[in-house]
Structure 1
């Protein structure tokens, strides 16, 4: 892709874009009897990220203002590639839209069937079907063993570069031993895992507390970052980074200003209560500094230099990745990084180089498998 103007000096990888998978999209890939359930809801009334029996969003009963947000969706690889080119993005990592809410599904078999159908659809219709479109496997948290089978099934697909672990409405936080099969399979496959949150009102902690707020202003301010914070804490508390030292992990769609808080706060607790977490080999900040982070929704302080300071506090120059959240109404344009107070070198890392390292791909989107790396090094 030939880029002009402010983009020409930067190779841009977007670590978070969304496609609008629908019941009718997944029907051909879904096992019986769950296929019948999808067929039954093809014509149900639906709103944005709210399809009965498929995307159970519970944040309704709020005012709808004239105009409102532009509820845009991406429905074809051609559309996505065209829009990404206009934004100056070279490579994009694909997440689902409706199945962001899959963690809220109460029935294990249905959730696992939808995840299998989505993964087959992703590989068949999206990942690598147009230049620079890469996919993440969806791991249904309700059935970790089945999710591990999915990782093993698709681990060698060229278009697959990681595993998406849903956080929105998650009833058992990531880090519990029940999820070991997923972590083991991902580490063995050399695929990183990405924790992605979404706003929902749900009985799962911390989302159950959001009902205390009257407005989306308050709910949206906390939902994403709080979800990521609690899951990060559970991962560290249970020693997942120690038990799976070669597993790369990323936290997306919570901004980044919460990261230095967690780093400093957990180190304080560790100094006083390290006997509770004797399995940790180093202070929590060590693991936090080795996690990766997506920028969206990027904080935009009045003083642009403050953003650089936040990244410096958690030593994130090499672990922060640009994420747009395209095409959602609150997406971040690459200029949010380009116009920041960061140096050109750090901008280049955040806009593309860090993501290439995290997803282990080259600038053509090709996975850098072990035999390829040996060839490059030799």
Structure 2
């Protein structure tokens, strides 16, 4: 399966989508799961899945909203061949794959079951999706319920073709990702030179910062859920000195937009100056660590009346150097690669955001369509 990107891809520009979702249904993972939990996935797979992200015992969405007519239907992609066709149509060279239903993985209470599901997901992802030449790359899943086993999984898949990152389930995670119980995961990711990717989703949970039960509708929950989860986990990572203790660790924040980043950077710098004796391991300002070790994905891209304001917002946290393109394909609220065209970016800035940053971060090769063109020019 070769990559044949459509003419939508800008000439001479590589496009890397850092947030593409695979349809990780329990019946797909079951053959890769260990007993006795394979039987659980088989049972879940025989039941209908009428609502998105709502499979009890597997994807516990706890949706409290009554169904309403209209709106957007849920879309999923079931095979790498279909995914490649769809990404080609969007002009995307490479896609970094993340789960869909297992975005809610951190809410699973049974640690043994969660461990087995995480292992099964990783096996399934590598075996079914990460084919050489497909332009599809993946983030293996870390299991917050079992950090020690997750560290072994990272060691096991380090160097596996197609594995380029580690996914940290973020929705409803308790404790937050800066807690020292996760040190083994972060150390293993750093040693393997695999960036960790935090990805949230709106979820109703009694866990900070997702106490969204106070809102009567999804409008309120969606506005707060993703960004609040990222803000809390960023603070958690910083308050235990994760970027200082793991100076080669690369951290990516996805599906929260970018507008919240400067605010958190300024706020952390202010309190670091005031309370630095409480965090003596932070020898530099939090903003220094962020501008060196952290990246922020665009989706869902904020839409100010004046697009120039969004570019100015990006500049406050490092601009094009720290920004990655993400679409959230194939979800209904995805951002098309053409969406960044409305922003007043220079061509160099656009090239970095759309793909060059991701090539370096995930250690990806230059797409063949571009290397061929350069050879022809030479």
Instruction: Name the structure 2 match of 1:58.
Output: 62
2: CA distance between counterparts of 1:226 and 1:90?
A: 31
2: CA distance between counterparts of 1:164 and 1:215?
A: 29
CA deviations over 1:294-331 (Å, ceiling 9, x no partner): 11001111111111101111113211000000011111
Inter-CA distance 166–243: structure 2 relative to 1 (3 Å threshold): same
Q: CA deviation at 1:342?
A: 1.5
Aligned pairs, how many? Answer: 363
Which SS does the other structure have where 2:289 is aligned?
helix
User: Aligned runs of 1:308-327 on 2, under 5 Å?
Assistant: 308-327=311-330
Q: Which runs of 4+ in 1 moved over 6 A?
A: none
Q: CA deviation at 1:241?
A: 0.3
Instruction: Name the structure 2 match of 1:250.
Output: 252
1:72 to 71, 75, 78: 75
Instruction: Name the structure 1 match of 2:300.
Output: 297
1: CA distance between counterparts of 2:365 and 2:130?
A: 16
Asked if 1 retains the 8 angstrom alpha-carbon contact of 2:142 and 2:168, the reply is yes
1:260 to 262, 276, 295: 262
Instruction: Name the structure 2 match of 1:370.
Output: none
2: CA distance between counterparts of 1:321 and 1:6?
A: 16
Q: CA deviation at 1:129?
A: 5.2
Inter-CA distance 6–31: structure 2 relative to 1 (3 Å threshold): closer
Instruction: Name the structure 1 match of 2:342.
Output: 339
Instruction: Name the structure 2 match of 1:217.
Output: 219
2: CA distance between counterparts of 1:352 and 1:310?
A: 20
2: CA distance between counterparts of 1:40 and 1:76?
A: 22
Which SS does the other structure have where 2:365 is aligned?
coil
**What runs of 5+ residues in structure 1 fail to find an aligned partner?**
366-378
1: CA distance between counterparts of 2:85 and 2:6?
A: 13
Asked if 2 retains the 8 angstrom alpha-carbon contact of 1:168 and 1:196, the reply is yes
2: CA distance between counterparts of 1:230 and 1:2?
A: 38
Asked if 1 retains the 8 angstrom alpha-carbon contact of 2:5 and 2:88, the reply is no
CA deviations over 1:4-34 (Å, ceiling 9, x no partner): 3562242100000000011111111100110
Asked if 1 retains the 8 angstrom alpha-carbon contact of 2:27 and 2:46, the reply is no
Which SS does the other structure have where 2:197 is aligned?
strand
**What runs of 5+ residues in structure 2 fail to find an aligned partner?**
369-378
Query: TM-score, with normalisation over the residues of structure 2?
Result: 0.93
1: CA distance between counterparts of 2:358 and 2:93?
A: 12
Query: TM-score, with normalisation over the residues of structure 1?
Result: 0.93
Inter-CA distance 6–191: structure 2 relative to 1 (3 Å threshold): closer
Instruction: Name the structure 1 match of 2:372.
Output: none
CA deviations over 1:235-293 (Å, ceiling 9, x no partner): 01000001110111111110000000011111111111111111101011111222101
Q: CA deviation at 1:70?
A: 2.3
2: CA distance between counterparts of 1:185 and 1:262?
A: 27
Which SS does the other structure have where 1:199 is aligned?
coil
User: Aligned runs of 1:133-282 on 2, under 5 Å?
Assistant: 133-208=136-211, 210-282=212-284
1: CA distance between counterparts of 2:134 and 2:333?
A: 25
